[in-house]
Structure 1
Amino acid sequence: MKTNYNITSKDTLGDTVARLPRAGEVFKSYKIDFCCGGQRSIEEAAKEKDVDAGKLLGVLNSLQDTIDARQGKNFTQMNNEELIDHIIDTHHSYLNINLPEISIISAAVLRAHGASRKELFEVHKLFHALKAELEQHLIKEETVLFPNMLDENNDLDIQKEIEDEHEGAGEILRRLRELTQDYTVPADGCPTYERLYHKLEELEGDVFQHVHLENNILFKRF
């Protein structure tokens, strides 16, 4: 049975993606941040990006026709333990595997193309700042934040700290996207260059979903 969520311009980005996960793909296509900026309304976000809110709503509501077939997991119906397990098994595992790999690729591309592509030095620097932040962030979540939540003894200070770290990671990702011109590989880019930009864009998508699940679903329960 299909469910009509009647998405309106006053709905927040985070709530919209929580109810209709495929909306995240739409927001990403318009470069709208639905994770760290999830408390904004669709109307506000559209105005910030100079997007026609009516057109955006039309695209979002058109997803309702296929919601049952393609929505996938309903994260809002998971209990806290199930959602935390999903975050660790899916997003923490992804980062633990891919951050070291991207580091190696980034160094190789910098050595090969840094002389002619000066922006690669900043890309390398920004990525490694993000890598260091995310690695300690995962440990903090797994050893402090999540156990507190499961023990129903949530420390609001640590939750605010985690949310601030989400903002910091989001800002680095925004700078990386701008610096790389939306991950556009230059004409002289080699296959390894292409792989670096592909992996960085993939990383962005995973972090956005990771932060969305925490900021817009899990954290709202406490």
Structure 2
Amino acid sequence: MMNLLDRNATIGSVVAELPQATDIFKDFNIDFCCGGHRKLADVIAEQGINETEIYERIRLAQEVRKSEYESNKNFNEMNSLALSSYIEDTHHSYLRRALPDIAEILNTILRVHGKNHMELFEVYRLFGGLKTDLEQHLLKEETMLFPALYQDYKNQHEILHLSSDIIGEHEAAGKILEKLRTATNDYKVPDDACGTYERAYAMLEELEKDLHQHIHLENNILLKDYDPR
């Protein structure tokens, strides 16, 4: 087991070793998916985070993990076939269900509340772009990246090229998620919001959570040996 308190540890390596760290990083507003390649110590310094507090929380979480039964999958020990299959069965399947449902519910609240909440037009625009990007992204992974990883000894050049594209698309998706969170005021619904409005924002926040985990698994574990950054 790696030393998670090592100042040279990257954000992604900490999360890969200790999945519970995702909640800690969220509390400190640390990007653990697209920014997973960065050293945690550097981000702590740049964002003015209390170093003692965050490292103590990581240490405690690590101790809890050691003492409790580990029910989560050990993604680090999965080979490319197993991990890509898990990603496709779990995260790709979720997106194919969630994206059209969110598009429909956003259309509904925009028609009803858009006149009084102009920010919904921006939310609808941002989500529309994210939906289009993700739909082609899933196809690229399933038809090109994952098959190439299955036979990595034959496709090193292709994997490197695809990985660069995939990671770049992850970063673009991450930026849209940040803009959506800003446009929705951290998914805080207005006082006159109806139940459908609340459901729409809850679905968007759930999408953000799933995408963060999805991107983390790919950037920091599946493609860690092919990351051009």
User: Which of 169, 176, 185 matches 1:172?
Assistant: 176
- Cα distance, 1:6 vs structure 2: 4.3
Shift of 1:7: 2.1
Q: Where do residues 99-118 of structure 1 align in structure 2 (5 Å cutoff)?
A: 99-118=99-118
- The question of whether the paired residues in 1 share the 8 Å contact of 2:2 and 2:17 is answered with no
TM-score normalised by L of structure 1: 0.94
**Helix, strand or coil at the partner of 1:206:** helix
Deviations 1:4-57 (A, max 9, x none): 844234311000000001101111222211110011122222233332121111
Stretches of structure 1 that go unaligned for 5 or more consecutive residues are: none
The residue correspondences of 1:21-100 to structure 2 (distance < 5 A) are: 21-67=19-65, 68-70=68-70, 72-100=72-100
Provide the residue aligned with 2:125 in structure 1: 125
Closer, same or farther: CA 6–32 of 1 in aligned 2, 3 Å: closer
1:211 counterpart residue number:
215
* Partner in structure 1 of residue 204 of structure 2: 200
**Contact 1:22-1:71 at 8 Å conserved across structures:** no
Counterpart CA distance in 2 for 1:183 and 1:147 is 37
Tell me the percent identity.
46
Structure 2, unpaired ranges of 5+: none
Residues in 2 aligned to 1:220 and 1:83: alpha-carbon distance in whole angstroms: 13
- Say if 1:4 and 1:64, in contact at 8 Å, map to a contact too: no
State the SS of the aligned residue for 1:69: coil
1:12/1:40 contact within 8 Å kept: yes
| 1:144 to 1:163, Cα distance in 2 relative to 1, 3 A | same
Q: Is the 8 A contact 1:126 1:176 kept in 2?
A: yes
Match of 1:187 among 186, 191, 198: 191
Contact 1:35 1:212 in 2 (8 A): yes
Cα distance, 1:70–1:189 mapped onto 2, change above 3 Å: farther
Aligned equivalent of 2:12: 14
Considering only aligned residues, what root-mean-square deviation do their CA atoms show, in Å? 1.5
1: CA distance, partners of 2:218 / 2:56:
27
Shift of 1:71: 5.9
Q: In structure 2, how many angstroms separate the alpha carbons of the residues matched to 1:97 and 1:48?
A: 38
Letter of the 1:119 partner, please give it.
E
> 2-side partners of 1:164 and 1:181: how far apart?
26
Shift of 1:70: 4.9
CA distance in 1, matches of 2:203, 2:147: 31
1:73-122 alpha-carbon deviations (Å, 9 max, x no partner): 11001111110110000000000000000000100111111001111000
Give me the TM-score of the superposition, normalised by structure 2.
Answer: 0.91
